[in-house]
Amino acid sequence: MERKTFDETMADQLNAIFAATKEITFSKNTASIIVGGRRRLEKLVGERKIRATKQDERQIGKWLCNASDVLRNAVNPMYKKTRK
C-alpha cells in the first residue's frame, strides 16, 4: 500500500470538511467575517461563488449562506489589510 504525501493528506482532509459542511448554513454576519467583509461576501454571492438564500422574501430577510462555499472562499486573517 502506497503512503500518501502530506499534500494529499491535507487535500483529503479539506475535501472531508467541505463534504461535511455542504448541508450547513452560516448567517450573513458569520459568513462575512470568514470571507473578509460584507462587500466581499456580497460580491461572491453575486458571482455565484457562494450559494445564499433568504428565509423570507422581505427586504430585511435573514441570509443563509452555504457553509462549504463560504469556507472555500475564506481569507487568512493574518493577511487581511488594515485601514489607516
Give the cell for residue 24.
Answer: 450547513
Q: Where are the alpha helices (DSSP H) in 1-84?
A: 6-20, 28-35, 38-46, 67-72
Nearest CA among 47, 51, 42, 46 for reference residue 71? 51
CA 52, CA 65: separation in Å to the nearest integer?
4
**What band does 41 get if pLDDT is binned at 50, 70 and 90?**
very high
CB 25 within 8 A of CB 66: yes
Confidence of residue 39 (pLDDT cuts 50, 70, 90): very high
**pLDDT, mean of residues 73-84:** 75
CA distances from 31 to 19, 39, 62 (A): 18, 11, 12
- pLDDT tens per residue, range 19-30: 999 999 999 999
In this prediction, residues 34-44 reach a mean pLDDT of: 95
